[in-house]
Structures are given as structure tokens and as C-alpha cells.
Amino acid sequence: MKVLVADKFEKSGLEGLKAAGCEVVFEPDLKDAALTEALARTGADVLVVRSTQVTEAMMDAGRLALIVRAGAGYNTIDVKAACKRGIYVSNCPGKNSLAVAELTFGLILALDRRIPDNVADLQRGKWNKKEYSKAKGIHGATLGILGFGRIGQEVARRAMGFGMNLVIWSELGVRVDRDAIPVDMPLMLQVRPGSGSLIEQRITVVQTPAEVAERCDILSIHLAAGPLTRNVVGAEVIEKLKPGAMLINTARPDVLDYKALAKAVKEKGIRVGLDVFPGEPASGAADFAHELVGLPGVYGTHHIGASTDQAQEAIAAETVRIVKTFKETGAVPNVVNLAKKSAAKHSLIVRHGDQPGVAACIFSKLAAAGINAHETENIIFDGGGAAIARVNIDKQPPAGFAESLKGCPGIMDVSVVDLA
């Protein structure tokens, strides 16, 4: 199996892919036309990328079977085009969670204590203890978390350790299970939500982002990018923030209205920590300007949330696991583009002898009846003498179909189950 790694990637990951028996082509600076050409030239089965865009034209250029996003999210990959071509898309969810949560709190603490301004003044030879002694502190403050996946949960753990209260909302259509709320700090191990404890009083789950903004002192965004989350944190949500509140975005720029945020910074003194920006440079080093950068009370970092050695090693190891599993079994861990729900209406269940020709006869008769098979599995009984085939199909077989199948060699019994 040939693997093209078209982005920066850890040495341990490259060595792991080779140890798994893969032929590895490492060209970390590929993008656009150069990546399209490389896919055609190498005939790679697997493409590994980080932030590089993967387009429909790239998929048509080669013979890809799997695209791995070495990181969380997959918005840089044309998933719809991959679905049409039967190309698996996988990612490495949760492997950067600790790194992003750490940066989130780095930005919160930096804003509260104005650490960058402290440092800059000292470097200019200016001492101003009176000014920089002004800070609220975050103990007892309410942290609003938008998005309660792996990263949101790691942020919640750290917030509880800082003695903060939590207000939580997750993505549209995603229910927050209170029993999953991480309250596993050492002094809290014996206490569970629902007990009426102090922890219970410190955690609130609400129904809308606006409710979170209205209740919190610090709003931290941890939402995946997608049609349902685009500009979820818009003007109506930002307007609910208290004057002087903080807003942190270490997720994706698509989920936040940056123009509305700039207005709130100027008019309400909202303090902001951003790791992501609209129109970020595609290269690692470039000139960059944005309306928010340079406004008072706004700190920005260079989209480095996942960029710790620990996170990158974990992502590399997960990428190796995905590719190795695919190579050895054909299964893809963390696959993101399989149908969530089958369109099959009925299940054809066939008990048969474990012998050649049975499956061929079943599918031949399905084709003759104009019936499409959506999924199939064949389970062998202990000893190998008999098996059960389950074929999920798109329509009710015609009268007499089951009896006609019994004419196939080795078939013992046939039944049809309605899946509706």
C-alpha cells in the first residue's frame, strides 16, 4: 500500500507507516496543482494531510481509497466528492484536545492578567505595577462552553480545577448528558451530578448559545465547522455578553461573526482571545492583517491550538493506526463519510450451508428482480458447516422470491424482515 504524506508530519508517524509495511512518499509542501500532479504520479492508495485542501480534481487524478486528516475536523476535504467516488475519509478526533484546552486557558489567563502587555512594557523598559495589578481573577467566574465534545470536556475539567462555574450548550441536535460532565478532579471523585451537591450547583446546561452568553463571564467556543454551526455566535449572541466579558475562539473562524465581535470590542469593551481567523494564510509564514488584530483587549495566536509535541505525536500514532487497520482489515477507524442510516427497507435473511456459490446465487436472483442490496454480512456458525447471510435491500421482494431462492444449492431457509 502506497501512502502519500502531503503535509508536515512527525518522524515517528513516518516510521510507523513504514513499519506497517507501507511504501511512504513524504512531500510535505504539496498543495493545489502540485498535489494533484503528485497523486497522479505516485498512484497513492492513501493520502495524509493536515491543513491542506483536498479537492475533487485531486481525487480524480489518482487512485485514492482513503484520505486521512491528521488532526481533528475535516472541513478542508471535499467529503461530498469523496462519497461519490467511494473514497473513505477519516480523521483523528480528540488527539489534540489537551493541547487546545491548554491554549484556551492560556488565553483566558493572559486576558485576565494582561500578560502580553506586561511583558511588552517591561521589554520597553517601562515599570507599571499599579496598572497591571488590576485583574478580576477567574475563581468563581462563570465559563460558558459552546460545544461539549472532547475539547469542551477537557476545558470543563480545567475550569472545575480553577473553581469556576460552568454554563454549557452543545452543537445543534446534540444532547449534553449530565452524567458525562467531567467532574473527576481529585476532591470530587465521590460526587456525581444529580446529587444536589456543590458541583451540581456549579454546572448549568442550557438550550441556546444566547443563554450561555447571557449567563457567563467568559465565553469559550469549541464547535465543529459545518452548515449548522456557521455564524452560530453571531451579533445576537455577542450582544448578550456583559460589558468587559471575555470571548475565546480556539475552534474554527466559520462559527463566529468577526465583524460583530469587533463592534462589541469597541463599544462594550469585550476582551478577546483568538487562535483562528478568517482568511488565514495557507503557508506557515506570511504577512497577515485583520480588523480585530491590534484592537485593545484583543490577543491573537497563530492557529497553534493543536501544535504541541504531545498532540502531534498522538495524532501521528492515530494516523498510523488508521492506515494500518485499513491495510490489514479493510476497515477504517474514525471514518466520517459513511451513511448514518441505511436506506434499506427490508432485510433478507438466508440460512445456508457454508459452501461456494451460495452468495452468487442470492445476488443473481436479487439483480434479476431489480432489487438493490445496501449492506450484507455472512456469519459462520462454529464448526463451519452452516452460515447466516443478512442482506439489507431497498424493496420488498415479489411473491415467490423466497421459494425461488430455496432452489439455490445449499440454502436451507429464507425469511424477509421489515426494517421500517
Residue 254 in this model has a pLDDT that exceeds 70 = yes
The DSSP output letter for 225 is P
340 domain-assigned: no
Burial readout 137-170 (b: 16 or more C-beta within 10 A, e: otherwise): ebeebbbbbbbbbbbbbbbbebbbeeebbbbbbb
Residue 181 in this model has a pLDDT that exceeds 80 = no
336 domain-assigned: no
Does the model's pTM come out above 0.85? no
Band (pLDDT 50/70/90 cuts) for residue 360 is very high
Residue 102 in this model has a pLDDT that exceeds 60 = yes
Are both 184 and 287 inside the same structural domain? yes
Catalytic residue check, 280: yes
Residue 393 in this model has a pLDDT that exceeds 80 = yes
pLDDT of residue 193: 47
pLDDT of residue 198: 54
Q: Average pLDDT in the 167-191 region? A: 52
Are both 155 and 198 inside the same structural domain? yes
Are both 85 and 154 inside the same structural domain? no
Strand partners, 205: 168
Distances (CA, A) of 383 to 21, 379, 386: 33, 12, 8
Strand partners, 5: 26, 48
Are both 196 and 130 inside the same structural domain? yes
Residue % of the chain over a pLDDT of 90: 77
Are both 104 and 186 inside the same structural domain? yes
Are both 55 and 116 inside the same structural domain? no
Band (pLDDT 50/70/90 cuts) for residue 367 is very high
Residue 283 in this model has a pLDDT that exceeds 80 = no
Are both 27 and 155 inside the same structural domain? no
Residue 173 in this model has a pLDDT that exceeds 70 = no
**CATH code of residue 89:** 3.40.50.720
Catalytic residue check, 252: yes
Q: Average pLDDT in the 218-236 region? A: 92
The more confidently predicted of residues 187 and 55 is 55
Residue 188 in this model has a pLDDT that exceeds 50 = no
Assess contact for 107 and 219: CB atoms under 8 A: no
396 domain-assigned: yes
341 domain-assigned: no
Are both 86 and 116 inside the same structural domain? no
Q: Average pLDDT in the 194-217 region? A: 81
Q: Average pLDDT in the 293-301 region? A: 94
Band (pLDDT 50/70/90 cuts) for residue 327 is very high
pLDDT of residue 190: 35
**CATH code of residue 372:** 3.30.70.260
Q: Return all residues near 186 (Cβ < 8 A) that are at least 6 apart.
A: none
Residue 178 in this model has a pLDDT that exceeds 50 = no
Band (pLDDT 50/70/90 cuts) for residue 281 is confident
334 domain-assigned: no
Per the residue annotation, which of 202, 303, 346, 352 is the catalytic one?
Answer: 303
Domain that holds residue 26: 2-95+310-329
101 domain-assigned: yes
191 domain-assigned: yes
Per the residue annotation, which of 200, 280, 291, 313 is the catalytic one?
Answer: 280
Domain tally, the chain: 3
Burial readout 81-91 (b: 16 or more C-beta within 10 A, e: otherwise): bbeeeebbbbb
Are both 121 and 218 inside the same structural domain? yes
Q: What is the pLDDT of residues 5-24, one digit of tens each?
A: 999 999 999 999 999 999 99
pLDDT of residue 384: 81
Are both 107 and 142 inside the same structural domain? yes
Are both 127 and 194 inside the same structural domain? yes
Q: Return all residues near 63 (Cβ < 8 A) that are at least 6 apart.
A: 43, 44, 45
pLDDT of residue 199: 56
Per the residue annotation, which of 69, 252, 271, 352 is the catalytic one?
Answer: 252
Distances (CA, A) of 317 to 70, 71, 184, 197, 313: 10, 11, 26, 40, 6
Are both 215 and 315 inside the same structural domain? no
Strand partners, 377: 390
- Whole-number average pLDDT of the chain: 90
pLDDT of residue 274: 98
As a whole number of angstroms, the distance between CA 98 and CA 108 comes to 15
Residue 29 in this model has a pLDDT that exceeds 50 = yes
Residue % of the chain over a pLDDT of 70: 93
Band (pLDDT 50/70/90 cuts) for residue 186 is very low
Q: Average pLDDT in the 365-390 region? A: 92
pLDDT of residue 80: 95
Lowest mean pLDDT among 7-16, 163-172, 177-186: 177-186
Residue 354 in this model has a pLDDT that exceeds 60 = yes
Q: Average pLDDT in the 133-149 region? A: 95
Band (pLDDT 50/70/90 cuts) for residue 284 is confident
217 domain-assigned: yes
